[in-house]
Chain A
């Protein structure tokens, strides 16, 4: 399969016009990050197309129950895709981006070039890209799943996903980031486009292997009365970063952003969020909850920006962190930037150990200390997981959290 000319041109333009200088951790948005340790020369960009569906991906799809459609991406190449015929007939598309409807206009529709150098690298280097397209007025009942799998050691992979939800359309998408136990550098760019009164629920599970470095970007735009719900579970990687840019561009648009993350060992999990209110009566609600054990680190920095004409805005931002060991470290920096008076905004952030009173309460009923702490930590994530867009993924996320708790996190 060869790329169409427009894509070849686009890629070479990205390469020619852009600087690929690495950002510095002096910049606020990269503060505390490990970007200084990223050496792109260390990784080989995958250009050969992988084939065949990995057994792990098949097993995952199996465990997700009924799906409307599914795509398997292996080292950046789409190796399988399917979609219910009835939905195809209605104009829904799930598959390789270049083969999709209006491909040229869909790519970069929300994040042309992405928010940083890694977005531009993705533009220049992504192999296939995936497009999920739901035309206006169509409701997709069962979720659509994308399994993004990496299994080439030493590779640099740039996954690209574009989800376009038409006016008054409705769809749930699960984007599963997994890998074999390989060392790899992965930089996904996800574009979420919600048209007027459209509803997109997007769940992203990052469960890559422990030697993967991932720097991801999720950029969304929501038009009038549209609703985006984007949830993330950040569990894998040596260094796992996700930047979220939610642009509420139309009156009455809503962005619900949530995440759970759990660091163990020497992991670093790094989250930057931007809630951008550019239109009146827009709503955003952010809840990121994380736990750090072992010597792991987590970083959360968030900015709510309310523009002058975004009167009637409601914007909330909450980041809560549990510190499970003395050597773990969590940073939380919420920020507001508001240019109008007519808003309801709040932000809250906490970093602390498991609540001693809660532990005592459970212990007083006869629950051993260790089990009490475990119940509380698992319960801490419930609030987010209960609302996770694809319910079938929740037991898998909970199991991964249990696995981490089993491995021990207190030292």
Chain B
């Protein structure tokens, strides 16, 4: 039984603190949903876990089965068993899917000779047209095709834990169903642990969460069973969001009345 353990994770972007101590433990085979309002730090969490440049970790730890991820470069995190399905999969002109997966598996000392057959099988399973497999990675794919492609790569690479960063954004209902079903199946097929970051509960119709967490202002503020997702869908996140005060309403006693308004 594996474990993705996030403890007191703090991170900043461009000098601004976004994550204020995130605590979360995902075990193999479990599905955890992280829901939250815009600006809660959902995408930051996924990027920090995978080691995207531009983010600075200022505290806490992240481990997979005791291996410290934060000291590893991104590709070593992948080797340690982490996968990130991106909200906006990047187009990589000139690099084919097969090249990408072959290099990924070889670098991990795994058998890459099966890539072609595995990709073909997984593509069929998730409903990704064969003709799209020869295209450079993500180039000219629709939103739905990109998300199917992300999920297919997940299935080929068989990581221990997958972060799904808004897998449910920018795709149609059919693609959403295909993707969430595939991930759900992976939780039993290869005991995949899932951290599904989402704004809406629709992802969770096919992908059954064991735990739903609410992320607000950079920390987990509530957790519950699947029913919490439904409740959030109805009530929204108002409870956890600070009242937005219009900036102009706060009088700055030191404000210069002659200051350039465009400065």
| Residues of chain A whose beta carbon lies under 8 Å from any beta carbon of chain B | 356-358, 360-369, 371-372, 375-376, 378-383
Using CB atoms, name the residue of chain B closest to A356: B53
Given contacts A356-B53, A367-B104, contact A361 B78 (CB under 8 A): no
**B100 in contact (CB, < 8 A):** yes
Bound complex: CA A358 to CA B88 (Å): 12
Determine how close the nearest CB of chain A comes to the CB of B52; give it in whole angstroms: 6
Residues of A within 8 A of B105 (CB): 366
Interface CB pairs A-B, < 8 A, 29: A358-B90, A358-B92, A360-B52, A360-B53, A360-B74, A362-B100, A362-B103, A364-B50, A364-B75, A364-B78, A365-B78, A365-B83, A365-B104, A366-B79, A366-B104, A366-B108, A367-B100, A367-B107, A368-B75, A368-B107, A369-B74, A371-B107, A375-B92, A376-B95, A381-B94, A382-B94, A382-B136, A383-B93, A383-B94
Contact: A363 with B74, CB < 8 Å?
A: yes
A358-B90, A367-B107 given; 18 more Cβ-contact pairs under 8 Å: A360-B74, A360-B90, A361-B137, A364-B74, A364-B78, A364-B84, A364-B86, A366-B108, A366-B157, A367-B100, A369-B74, A376-B94, A376-B95, A379-B92, A379-B93, A379-B95, A379-B136, A382-B136
Contact status of A361 and B92, CB under 8 A, knowing A356-B53, A366-B75, A379-B136: yes
Given known pairs A360-B53, A361-B86, A375-B99, the reply for A367 and B75 (CB within 8 Å) is yes
How far in angstroms is the closest Cβ of chain B from A83? 36
Say yes or no for B153: interface residue by CB 8 A criterion.
Answer: yes
Say yes or no for B73: interface residue by CB 8 A criterion: yes
Complex CA distance for A377 and B107, rounded to whole angstroms: 19
Query: Which A residues lie within 8 Å of B91 (CB)?
Result: 358
Which residues of B from 45 to 102 have beta carbons under 8 Å from A?
Answer: 50-53, 73-75, 78-79, 83-84, 86, 89-95, 99-101
Bound Cα distance from A262 to B54, whole angstroms: 29
Known: A356-B53, A369-B75, A379-B136. A362 touches B95 (CB 8 A): yes
Is the Cβ of B136 less than 8 Å from the Cβ of A365? no
Q: Is the CB of A364 within 8 A of B83?
A: yes
Residues of B within 8 A of A380 (CB): 93-94
Min C-beta distance of A318 to chain B, whole Å: 13
Chain A residues whose CB sits within 8 angstroms of the CB of B78 once the complex forms: 363-366
Contact B50–A375 (Cβ < 8 Å): no
Alpha-carbon separation in the docked complex, A376 to B100 (Å): 10
Q: Which of A366, A369, A380 has the largest count of B CB atoms less than 10 A from its CB?
A: A366
Contacts of B83 in A (CB 8 A): 364-365
Interface centre among B51, B52, B104 (most CB of A within 10 A): B104
**Chain A interface helix/strand/loop/mixed:** helix
* B interface residue numbers (CB < 8 A to A): 50-53, 73-75, 78-79, 83-84, 86, 89-95, 99-101, 103-105, 107-108, 136-137, 153, 157
With A363-B74, A366-B157 given, is the CB distance from A378 to B108 under 8 Å?
A: no
Q: Is A375 within 8 A of B75, CB to CB?
A: no
Q: Which 8 A-B pairs have the closest CB atoms?
A: A379-B94, A366-B78, A382-B94, A363-B74, A366-B104, A361-B90, A379-B95, A363-B75
| B137 nearest in chain A by CB position | A361
Q: Which of B79, B136, B137 has the most CB of A within 10 A?
A: B137
CB distance from B43 to the nearest CB of A (A): 13
Task: Write out the residue numbers on chain B whose beta carbons fall within 8 Å of the beta carbon of A357.
Answer: 90
B residues near A379, Cβ cutoff 8 Å: 92-95, 136
With A356-B53, A371-B103, A375-B99 in contact, is A365–B92 under 8 Å at CB?
no
Q: Chain A residues with Cβ under 8 A from B53's Cβ?
A: 356, 360
CB distance from B123 to the nearest CB of A (A): 16
Once the chains bind, are B90 and A382 in contact (CB under 8 Å)?
A: no
A372 to B76, CA, bound (A): 13
**Chain A residues positioned under 8 Å from B94 (CB to CB):** 375-376, 378-383
A362 touches B92 (CB 8 A): yes
Query: Which B residues are in CB contact (< 8 Å) with A361?
Result: 86, 89-90, 92, 137
Whether A382 contacts B93 by the Cβ 8 Å rule is yes
| Alpha-carbon separation in the docked complex, A307 to B91 (Å) | 38
> Could you tell me the distance in whole angstroms from the C-beta of A398 to the nearest C-beta in chain B?
11
Q: Contact: B86 with A375, CB < 8 Å?
A: no
CB distance from A386 to the nearest CB of B (A): 9
Known contacts A356-B53, A375-B100: does B93 contact A365 (CB below 8 Å)? no
Q: Which residues of A contact B101 (CB under 8 A)?
A: 365
Residues on A with C-beta less than 8 A from B153 are 365
Bound CA–CA A382/B79 (angstroms): 29
Nearest B residue (CB) for A378: B94
* Residues from chain A with Cβ under 8 Å of B93 in the complex: 379-380, 382-383
CB distance from B107 to the nearest CB of A (A): 5
* Distance (whole angstroms) from the CB of B152 to the closest CB of chain A: 12
B77 and chain A: residue at smallest CB distance: A364
- The reply to whether B73 and A369 contact each other, CB–CB distance below 8 Å, is yes
Minimum CB–CB distance for A67 against chain B, Å: 28
A410–chain B nearest beta-carbon distance, Å: 16
CB neighbours (8 Å) of A372 from chain B are: 75, 103
Closest A residue by C-beta to B84: A364
> How far apart are the CA atoms of A360 and B50 in the complex, in Å?
9
B90 — which chain A residues lie within 8 A by C-beta? 357-358, 360-361
A365 to B93, CA, bound (A): 16
A383 to chain B, nearest CB (A): 7
Q: Which residues of B have CB within 8 Å of A382?
A: 93-94, 136
Alpha-carbon distance A362/B86, docked complex (angstroms): 12
Most buried by B among A362, A379, A382: A362
Residues A375 and B73 in contact in the complex (CB < 8 Å), given A358-B92, A364-B50, A364-B86: no
Tell me the bound Cα distance from A180 to B173 in angstroms: 62
Question: Nearest Cβ in chain A — how far from B85, in angstroms?
Answer: 9
Q: How far is the CA of A379 from the CA of B135 in the complex (A)?
A: 12
Alpha-carbon distance between A365 and B53 when the two chains are bound, in angstroms: 15
Closest to B88 in A: A357
Residues of B near A368 (CB, < 8 A) are 75, 107
Contacts of A375 in B (CB 8 A): 92, 94-95, 99-100, 103
- Taken together as a complex, chains A and B put the C-alpha atoms of A363 and B94 apart, in Å, by 16
Nearest opposing residue in chain A for B163, CB measure: A364
